[in-house]
Amino acid sequence: MTFDLPPAPHHFSPEHEAFRATVRSFAEHEIAPFAAEWDEAGTFPRSLYKKAAALGLLGMGYPEEYGGTPADTMFSIIAAEELARAGTGGVQASLGTLHIGLPPVIALGSAELKARVVPPVLRGEKIAALAITEPGGGSDVAALRTRAVRASGAEGNHYVVNGEKTFITSGLRADYLTVAVRTDPDSRGANGISLLLVEGDTPGLERTELKKTGWWASDTAHLRFENCRVPAANLLGGPDRVEGEGFRAIMQNFNHERLVMAASAVGYAQACTEEALAWARERKTFGRALAEHQVIRHKLVDMVQRVEVAREFVHALGWRLIHQSGMNEQLQAALVARTCMAKIQATQAMAFCASEAVQILGGMGYMRGTKSERLYREVKVMVIGGGSEEVLKDLAARQVGL
Ligand SMILES: Cc1cc2nc3c(=O)[nH]c(=O)nc-3n(C[C@H](O)[C@H](O)[C@H](O)COP(=O)(O)OP(=O)(O)OC[C@H]3O[C@@H](n4cnc5c(N)ncnc54)[C@H](O)[C@@H]3O)c2cc1C
């Protein structure tokens, strides 16, 4: 007996399903068995990037000329959901930082920069990350203060970067950091923001590890830029190579990140539910399996119901984003609003399922090593990162004209 339903065929093709089977097997064999060990170690082997690349997980959706494979949004949703079932957000977040670091490079980088930077990242040889958040605040991106001043010298045109970034995933290991900077000192808001690709070994870049509640297997860093010289050719300025393109690119990047976070949250919620279900069938109290006690049965039904609602929302949204994006401005705004809502819905489902799973596992749920314990620690970052629940509700309201 299972609660699981097969994915709805109107959203997924046979190619999608073949990809799902591949990612599920990868998560089951290459990640899940090591999740607890890597969490305790606070890291995981760099070789995992190459294994993920070999499956096409890193190159999915990127142009073929840089080593990518064309893939629609449903592939990203499948990858996120299936990787999440391994129950370790730290590994998944680290493996995925290229998907937030590279898109602005693809959209706004010069041909030379893309040819140099993108292929080794898609092959899993180099790591890319995105650095937006600053100690002064993350939600209010337009208020960022890291400065990049254009200068020229013996080594050619470059920017001198000064400032700080914080909470940056893969910040320690990254070879390439897509960094949001203020290139126009006179502009206080969104207009003066640009993105620069900063190489990890740039002199003057100091990286410090941060300790955190969950996602232990991922590295999270504080970055300090002190007179870092970054070649002007690393400006992500579009075909006209202009400054001030950053804010729009950051916002577009966020939409995809939020959809992927929603799909991941569905997978984490499912992982907790499956663990609790298996435990409830095995564990006996008062002469009966836990699953036979009505209170526990109802908890399990509540969990499955929430996973199902969130999953259907994310899948339907993925389909809409493929087929209805760009039709007109109003519809586009409505889809941005739905993306915010999908992340909220899915992370709420995850929070509920992680909490109930720990409760059903009892003392075992409080012990390190179970998926539920780990995901219970990890859920808050899903609600805060990539746009917090409060900020996303506000954004959704603005998009629909409230
Ligand atoms: C483990 C981890 C990994 C991360 N990885 C990255 C990364 O790779 N790159 C990166 O750039 N950032 C990263 N972040 C940062 C993350 O995106 C920010 O933490 C998030 O955007 C919130 O910003 P903040 O922490 O500065 O909180 P703040 O913006 O200071 O907000 C604090 C609280 O106030 C609420 N709030 C803020 N404004 C409003 C408002 N107008 N109305 C109502 N409530 C409001 C927020 O919802 C939140 O609850 C990461 C964070 C964590 C914890």
Domain harbouring 280, CATH code? 1.20.140.10
Label residue 371 by pLDDT band (50, 70, 90).
very high
Q: How far is the CA of 128 from the centre of ligand 1 (A)?
A: 20
Q: Per-residue pLDDT averaged across 342-360, rounded?
A: 98
Residues 240 and 270 in one domain: no
pLDDT in tens, 184-210: 988 878 889 999 999 999 999 999 999
Check whether 352 has a pLDDT greater than 80: yes
Residues 23 and 102 in one domain: yes
User: Measured from the CB, is residue 135 less than 6 Å from ligand 1?
Assistant: no
Beta bridge partners of 384: none
Q: How far is the CA of 114 from the centre of ligand 1 (A)?
A: 29
Query: Which atom of ligand 1 is least distant from the CA of 130?
Result: 9
197 in any annotated domain: yes
User: Measured from the CB, is residue 395 less than 6 Å from ligand 1?
Assistant: no
Residues 390 and 308 in one domain: yes
For residue 48, give the CATH number of its domain: 1.10.540.10
pLDDT value, residue 153: 73
61 in any annotated domain: yes
Residues 197 and 271 in one domain: no
pLDDT value, residue 1: 53
DSSP character at residue 371: H
Lowest mean pLDDT among 123-132, 321-330, 357-366: 321-330
349 in any annotated domain: yes
Residues 251 and 240 in one domain: no
Check whether 308 has a pLDDT greater than 70: yes
Q: Per-residue pLDDT averaged across 169-175, rounded?
A: 98
Check whether 135 has a pLDDT greater than 70: yes
For residue 190, give the CATH number of its domain: 2.40.110.10
Lowest mean pLDDT among 1-5, 49-53, 395-399: 1-5
pLDDT value, residue 137: 87
291-327 burial, b at 16+ Cβ within 10 Å, e below that, comes to beeeebeebbeebbebbbebbebbbebbbbbeeeeee
- Which protein residue's CA is at the shortest distance from atom 48 of ligand 1? 388
210 in any annotated domain: yes
Q: Answer yes or no: are the C-beta atoms of 59 and 68 closer than 8 Å.
A: yes
Check whether 29 has a pLDDT greater than 90: yes
Q: Answer yes or no: are the C-beta atoms of 300 and 280 closer than 8 Å.
A: yes
Q: Per-residue pLDDT averaged across 284-303, rounded?
A: 98
User: Measured from the CB, is residue 250 less than 6 Å from ligand 1?
Assistant: no
- Which residue bears the tokens 């090591």? 34
Query: Which atom of ligand 1 is least distant from the CA of 171?
Result: 8
Residues 148 and 232 in one domain: yes
Label residue 170 by pLDDT band (50, 70, 90).
very high
3 in any annotated domain: no
Where among 92, 122, 152 does a domain terminate? 122
pLDDT value, residue 4: 80
Q: Per-residue pLDDT averaged across 298-321, rounded?
A: 97
Check whether 3 has a pLDDT greater than 80: no
Number of structural domains in the chain:
3
21 in any annotated domain: yes
pLDDT value, residue 392: 98
Check whether 154 has a pLDDT greater than 80: no
Check whether 86 has a pLDDT greater than 60: yes
Catalytic residues: 257
Average pLDDT value for the chain:
96
Query: Which atom of ligand 1 is least distant from the CA of 215?
Result: 1
What is the C-alpha to C-alpha distance for residues 51 and 53, in angstroms, rounded to an integer?
Answer: 5
Is the pTM here over 0.85, yes or no? Answer: yes
Helix (H, G, I), strand (E, B) or coil at 357: helix
1 in any annotated domain: no
Q: Per-residue pLDDT averaged across 213-223, rounded?
A: 98
Phi/psi at 259 (5° precision): -65, -45
Domain, as residue range, for 54: 14-122
Q: What distances in angstroms separate CA 340 from CA 76, 140, 162, 354, 375, one per listed residue?
A: 17, 16, 32, 21, 21
